[in-house]
């Protein structure tokens, strides 16, 4: 499926006509604004280093077409530094990164940018200089007055500093405008603040015009018995402010996602609330992000290892949740950057692009080490594949739903060298439905949300042995009767299509089902597509 370039450049007459259409027929996009988010399958590489690592990407929009992304890297060797890359075509292509912050004696990271009304750009960051067992840590700010091409120290920009005989101090600064004033949020586990508890507090400071004011407590992790960290804030549609953070006060989980809602962005004497606890003992959810969508909903992102057979940050992947009621409930969990069982997509961020799109960015080790971008849509684009992990190139069923012991007993991941003898229709992997263990059935599917009313098409490349009790490709939950088509009986990859799918429910569940009667029966699937016509 080719990227729909018409989505990137909308003539003014289209915007006017679209606005009028919404006025006349308001139900057309009601479902997209209440039933999740439709994510395009395409994953855009921003930067893949020839060597070294990349972490912690953060986006900033300067104009509709021109954006910046900052991230940490040690590409080419040496200390970690913060670099900035630029797009001038709304994220399709990106420039080579330029260094915004570095230090010859230590590592810098956790960069995050804010554009002021004057056009000046601030970049907050963490600096760590180690001398023996002593760690000197600072949070500071750089600024750019030329749109991010060059950077210098902000006078009075020092947010705070700490010195400790262990790797403790100040972390993860996040800049935001609060009621017209620049504010910075950060985490603090320095001995001077939390002693030797191993816990962590969250603080905020506001800009006075020449420096940072006194700290305001957002969350007292010591009092809560929690290592609170990685705060990110957004102004909600009702004028209140939400801060999301990771917390360690839920037994059985290293971290979970919590949040607090302030009436004015400065008073945080409000309850801690739980957003997400991962399933499975020992599993974690951390590194949250949050934005307010143009339609008023909230979208949160975080990384979790709950879908991996392994545990820890090296096996986490980016997920999102949506709240339509100002944080009271969260739903439509989506694995935005699915990865293989031994890879990760983490330290993620979100950015609202315009009234119909949100951008997600991650630092991933899959498909190769790099920074990647993906788009979510509140108005469903046409001719854009919306299937998550459509070719099973993660070598697992991440992004898909299975039942019971179907996977991996009767849902098999086939690769080029697993003895099947047939290459994938495209790429390196495909899925096979085979076997008569247990109920001798298998189902793999996924629900795509945030769909506007309209006509859709499902396609896949398939082949099968034939002879099963049942072998179908299907679409359901779209507002009409289930639609099915049989699996082609052939050893060659064959296109299979369900056309003229009328979606009126805001969602559709696509899937594949087999009921086998013999161990020799099989059905293979690859390159699944679902798109609006």
Tell me, yes or no, whether 132 lies in a domain.
yes
Structural domain boundaries enclosing 417: 401-532
Residue 31 confidence (pLDDT) above 60:
no
The bridge status of strand 54-61 relative to strand 411-414 is unpaired
pLDDT at res. 422: 77
393 contacts: CB under 8 Å, gap ≥ 6: 367, 427, 428, 429
With bands split at pLDDT 50, 70 and 90, how would you rate the model's confidence at 174? very high
What are the DSSP calls for 50-98, one per residue? Answer: SSS-EEEEEEEESSSS-EEEEEEE-TTSSS-EEEEEEESSTTSS-PPPE
Q: Of 377, 410, 427, which residue is a domain's last?
A: 377
Q: Which residues contact 69 (CB under 8 A, 6 or more apart)?
A: 46, 57, 58, 59, 60, 84, 85, 86, 87, 94, 361, 371
Q: Is residue 524 part of a domain?
A: yes
Report the range of poorest mean pLDDT among 114-118, 414-418, 458-462: 414-418
Let me know whether 415 and 341 are in one domain: no
If you average pLDDT over residues 396-414, what whole number do you get?
A: 94
The answer as to whether 242 is a domain residue is yes
Query: Do 139 and 276 sit in the same domain of this protein?
Result: yes
Say yes or no to pLDDT of 510 above 60: yes
Whether the predicted pLDDT of 8 surpasses 50: no
CA angle 141, 143, 149 (to 5 degrees): 135
pLDDT in tens, 280-298: 999 999 999 999 999 999 9
pTM: 0.90
Task: Please state the rounded mean pLDDT for residues 473-488.
Answer: 98
- Tell which residue, 362, 351, 354, 350, has the closest CA to residue 381: 354
**Averaged over 138-156, what is the pLDDT?**
98
Confidence of residue 34 (pLDDT cuts 50, 70, 90): low
Q: What is the mean pLDDT of residues 527-532?
A: 98
> Tens digits of per-residue pLDDT, 297-339?
999 999 999 989 899 999 999 999 999 999 999 999 999 999 9
Same structural domain, 372 and 432? no
Q: Is residue 504 part of a domain?
A: yes
d(CA 468, CA 460) in angstroms, rounded, equals 19
pLDDT band, residue 2 (cuts 50/70/90)? very low
* CATH number of residue 493's parent domain: 2.60.120.260
**pLDDT > 70 in the chain, percent:** 93
Residue 74 in domain: yes
* Same structural domain, 369 and 411: no
The answer on 257 and 110 residing in a single domain is: yes
On whether both 366 and 431 belong to a single domain, the answer is: no
What's the CA dihedral at 420, 421, 425, 428 to 10 degrees? 80
pLDDT (tens digit, 9 = 90+) per residue, 515-529?
999 999 999 999 999
The 10s digit of each residue's pLDDT in 77-109 is 999 999 999 999 999 999 999 999 999 999 999
Q: Whole-angstrom distance between the N-terminal and C-terminal Cα of the chain? A: 12
Quick check: 15 pLDDT over 90?
Answer: no
Distance CA 525, CA 514 (A): 12
Mean pLDDT in residue range 120-131: 98
Q: What is the mean pLDDT of residues 8-13?
A: 34
**What is d(CA 464, CA 318) in angstroms, rounded to the nearest whole number?**
34
Instruction: Decide if 91 contacts 393 (C-beta within 8 A).
Output: no
Both 352 and 427 in one domain: the answer is no
Chain centroid to CA 115: 22
Q: Please name the helix (run of DSSP H) or strand (run of DSSP E) that holds residue 16, with its range, or none.
A: helix 12-24
Asked whether residue 82 is domain-assigned, the answer is: yes
The answer on 335 and 426 residing in a single domain is no
Q: What is the pLDDT of residue 19?
A: 37
Into how many domains does the chain fold? 2
pLDDT of residue 420: 74
Tens digits of residue pLDDT in 199-240: 999 999 999 999 999 999 999 999 999 999 999 999 999 999
pLDDT at site 416:
61
Comparing 309 with 376, the larger pLDDT belongs to: 376
The stretch 497-526 carries a mean pLDDT of 97
pLDDT over 80 at 16, yes or no = no
pLDDT of 26 strictly over 60: no
Query: Within the chain, what is the greatest distance between any pair of CA atoms?
Result: 77
The answer, yes or no, to whether residue 452 has pLDDT greater than 80, is yes
Mean pLDDT score across all residues of the chain: 93
Q: Has residue 198 been placed in a domain?
A: yes
When pLDDT is averaged across residues 27-44 and rounded to a whole number, the result is: 71
Residues 418 and 300 in one domain: no
- What's the CATH number where 93 sits? 2.120.10.10
């Amino acid at each position: 499926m080719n990227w729909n370039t018409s989505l990137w450049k909308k003539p003014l007459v289209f915007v006017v006509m679209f606005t009028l259409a919404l006025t006349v027929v308001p139900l057309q996009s009601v479902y997209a604004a209440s039933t999740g988010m439709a994510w395009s399958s395409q994953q855009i590489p921003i930067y893949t280093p020839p060597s070294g690592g990349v972490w912690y990407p953060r986006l900033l929009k300067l104009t509709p077409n021109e954006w910046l992304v900052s991230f940490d890297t040690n590409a080419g060797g040496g200390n970690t530094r913060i670099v900035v890359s630029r797009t001038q075509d709304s994220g399709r292509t990106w420039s080579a990164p330029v260094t915004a912050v570095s230090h010859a004696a230590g590592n810098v990271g956790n960069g995050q940018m804010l554009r002021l009304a004057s056009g000046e750009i601030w970049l907050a960051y963490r600096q760590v200089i180690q001398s023996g067992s002593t760690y000197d840590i600072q949070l500071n700010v750089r600024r750019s007055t030329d749109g991010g091409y060059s950077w210098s120290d902000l006078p009075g920009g020092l947010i705070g500093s700490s010195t400790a005989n262990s790797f403790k101090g100040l972390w993860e600064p996040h800049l935001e405008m609060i009621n017209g004033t620049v504010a910075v949020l950060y985490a603090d586990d320095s001995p001077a603040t939390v002693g030797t508890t191993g816990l962590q507090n969250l603080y905020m400071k506001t800009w006075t015009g020449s420096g940072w004011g006194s700290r305001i407590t957002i969350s007292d992790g010591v009092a809560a018995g929690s290592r609170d960290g990685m705060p990110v804030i957004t102004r909600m549609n009702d004028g209140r402010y939400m801060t999301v953070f990771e917390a360690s006060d839920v037994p059985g989980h290293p971290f979970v996602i919590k949040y607090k809602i302030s009436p004015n962005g400065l008073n945080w004497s409000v309850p801690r609330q739980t957003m997400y606890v991962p399933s499975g003992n020992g599993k974690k959810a951390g590194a949250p992000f949050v934005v307010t969508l143009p339609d008023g909903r909230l979208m949160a992102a975080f990384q979790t290892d709950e879908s991996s057979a392994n545990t820890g940050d090296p096996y986490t992947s980016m997920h999102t949740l949506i709240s339509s009621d100002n944080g009271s409930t969260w739903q439509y969990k989506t694995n935005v950057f699915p990865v293989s069982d031994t890879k990760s997509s983490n330290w993620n961020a979100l950015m609202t692009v315009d009234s119909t799109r949100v951008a997600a960015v991650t630092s991933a080790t899959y498909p190769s080490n790099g920074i990647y971008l993906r788009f979510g849509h509140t108005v469903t684009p046409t001719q854009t594949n919306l299937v998550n992990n459509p070719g099973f190139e993660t070598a697992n069923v991440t992004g898909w739903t299975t039942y019971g012991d179907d996977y991996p007993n009767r849902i098999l991941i086939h690769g080029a060298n697993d003895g099947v003898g047939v290459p994938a229709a495209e790429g390196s992997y495909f899925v096979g439905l085979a076997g008569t263990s247990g109920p001798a059935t298998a189902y793999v599917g996924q629900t795509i949300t945030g769909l506007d009313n309209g006509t859709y098409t499902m396609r896949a490349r398939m082949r099968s042995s034939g002879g099963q009790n049942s072998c179908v490709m299907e679409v359901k939950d779209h507002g009409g009767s289930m639609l099915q088509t049989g699996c082609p009986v052939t050893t060659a990859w064959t296109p299979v299509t369900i056309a003229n799918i009328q979606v009126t429910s805001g969602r559709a569940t696509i899937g594949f089902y087999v009921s086998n009667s013999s161990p020799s029966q099989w059905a293979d699937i690859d390159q699944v597509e679902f798109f609006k016509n």
